[in-house]
Amino acid sequence: MNADFIRQLPKAELHVHLDGSLRLQTLIELAQQQKVELPSYTQEGMRELVYKKDYKDLQDYLRGFTYAIRVLQDAESIERGAYEFALDVAADGVCYVEARFAPHHHINERLGYADIFQAVNKGFLRAKKEINIKYPDRPAFTYGLIACIMRFFRPEYGSYYKALASVLPKTSLVGLGVAAANDLVAALVEIKNKQGIPIVAVDLAGSEDGNPARPFQEVFSLARQNGIELTVHAGEAYGAESIFDAVMRLNAARIGHGYELFNKEMILDKVSDKKKYINILAQDMSQRTITCEMCLTSNSQTNPAMRDLKNHPIMQFVHAGIPVMLNTDNRLVSNTTLTNEYQIFSELFKPSIRLLRRMIMTGFHASFYPGTSNDKHKYVKQVVYALDEKLAQFAPGK
Ligand SMILES: [Zn+2]
């Protein structure tokens, strides 16, 4: 299936980080304007040194975020980032997107929670108008915003973290992380309800290693009680136990990645029958249609065992009846597009048109669509119509 054709298919993207998806030229321009130091000020230089095709390890992969975060500290830059991001995903054939970012990485003395969300929303609204004029035959461009809560807390991460650590000097780093998360969720509820900004979910992000999800159980419950949905990064650097915590304790409706679910070697706790443990969890996820947001290229860059994506267990999920769909994770850092992800998947696993259609539709069904279920149903119907019309051109009669 060629790239042009995949690009034309109406698609949904549910797992994509704004700070990992800036346009490279924009990052360089903002750094120059703001006098932020970069290892190079040309696109080629930055591709060679930071945003590479292959990364040594997760640390190497994460370096790209620090530069993006440094230039996204004022409303104007954030709005520009969001605006260009929306235009880019639309050009990739995405008509529904849920973009995520960690507000605590952008908050500072001059920029509060509401300022950050207003800036992002302004960028999206401006782009939305242009996109809907440019592509009148597509289902209308629609978006939701996801706020990432960071699993770990370090005072050196920025002025917000430093200030919090200094007023709570006796609180542990985990305790500070939970306090910051509580503060964020209270702000999200207020911004969502008073300003009508489509904040649809919270996510738990950041390194899983040594940073379990359990302390965030109550914060997640608070978000849920206020009509905010839940997704959790899990089963990426850790195994089934981290997915278990996300699904059973935090009540996540979706899992970011989750690809280590079936890997027995990744279970570190004392579980006597690992196979049974995995089967029970997999069955539960299938029955409750807990969707895994898969990001193939990103996995191949952060995990040496996935370098050859033929080893990726995505088809095991399909066979176990766990809903999966594809995402870029980070358009700049992973140097990919959603079209590219579907193409990689098609080439490696030779899915039938039916399976491809099901995965694309899972992206819409599993979305935290900002509206009533009737609104969502109507939108999904439009997508089905548009998608089937396109697919019929590729395989008439199928
Ligand atoms: Zn992610």
Which residue type, as a one-letter code, is found at position 76? E
Q: Tell me, in angstroms, the distance from the centre of ligand 1 to residue 103's CA.
A: 15
Q: Residue 201 C-alpha to ligand 1 middle, in angstroms?
A: 14
Q: Compute the distance from residue 266 Cα to the ligand 1 centre, in Å.
A: 19
pLDDT digits (tens, 9 = 90+) for 34-55: 999 999 999 999 999 999 988 9
Residue 153 binned pLDDT confidence (cut-offs 50, 70, 90): confident
The partner residues of 203 in beta bridges, in order of sequence, read 148, 231
Both tokens of 164, joined, read 């919090």
pLDDT at 107 over 60: yes
> Residues whose CB is under 5 A from ligand 1 (ion)?
329
Report CA(203)–ligand 1 centroid distance (Å).
9
pLDDT of residue 209: 75
Mean pLDDT, the chain, rounded, equals 94
Length of the chain: 398
Residue 299 alpha carbon to ligand 1 centre in Å? 10
From ligand 1's centre to the CA of 15, what distance in Å? 6
What whole-number distance in Å separates Cα of residue 212 and Cα of residue 207?
9
Query: In the structure encoding, which two tokens stand for residue 12, read together?
Result: 């949904």
CB 180 within 8 A of CB 206: no
Q: Say how far residue 272 (Cα) sits from the centre of its chain.
A: 33
- pLDDT for position 211: 84
pLDDT tens per residue, range 65-81? 999 999 999 999 999 99
Query: 86-100: per-residue pLDDT in tens?
Result: 999 999 999 999 999
Whole-number Å distance, alpha carbon 121 to ligand 1 midpoint, is 20
d(CA 383, CA 361): 8
Residue 106 C-alpha to ligand 1 middle, in angstroms?
Answer: 17
Is residue 73 within 8 A of residue 157, CB to CB? The reply is no
Q: What is the dihedral of CA 48, 51, 52, 55, to 10 degrees?
A: 120
Percentage of residues in the chain having pLDDT higher than 90: 86
Dist. CA 395 → ligand 1 center (Å): 34
Residue 46's pLDDT is: 97
Q: How far apart are CA 155 and CA 168, in angstroms?
A: 11
From CA 205, how far away is CA 108, in angstroms rounded? 20
- Is residue 276 a contact partner of residue 283, using CB atoms and an 8 Å limit? no
Could you give the CA distance from residue 184 to residue 231 in angstroms, rounded to a whole number? 16
> Greatest CA separation found in the chain?
68
11-17/94-101 β-pairing: parallel
pLDDT value at residue 66? 93
Q: Is residue 58 scored above 90 in pLDDT?
A: no
Q: Is the pTM of this model over 0.95?
A: yes
Specify the pLDDT at position 238.
81
pLDDT, position 1: 77
pLDDT category of residue 366 using cuts at 50, 70 and 90: very high
Which structural domains are found in the chain, ordered by start?
Answer: 3-367 (3.20.20.140)
How remote is the CA of residue 304 from the centroid of ligand 1, in Å?
17
What is the Å distance from ligand 1's center to 300 Cα?
13
Give the Å distance between the CA of 148 and the centre of ligand 1. 9
Beta-strand pair 229-234/11-17: unpaired
Residue 78, by phi and psi: left (phi above 0), alpha (psi -120 to 50) or beta? alpha
CA 62 centroid distance within chain: 15
**Average pLDDT of span 20-26:** 98
Q: 284-343 pLDDT, tens per residue?
A: 999 999 999 999 999 999 998 999 999 999 999 999 999 999 999 999 999 999 999 999
- Taking residues 275-282, report their average pLDDT: 95
Measured in Å, residue 75 CA sits from the centre of ligand 1 at 23
Does 398 score more than 70 pLDDT? Answer: no
At residue 396 the predicted structure's pLDDT band, cuts being 50, 70 and 90, is: low
Angle (nearest 5°) at CA 123 between 67 and 207: 40
Report residue 21 as tokens.
């998806």
Which residue shows structure tokens 């690809």?
A: 259
> Does an H or E element contain 142, and which?
strand 142-150
What pLDDT was estimated at residue 54? 87
Residue 377: is its pLDDT beyond 60?
Answer: yes
Backbone angles phi, psi at 100, to 5 degrees: -125, 155
SS3 content of the chain, % helix, strand, coil (to 5): 55, 15, 30
CA of 248 to the centre of ligand 1 (A): 20
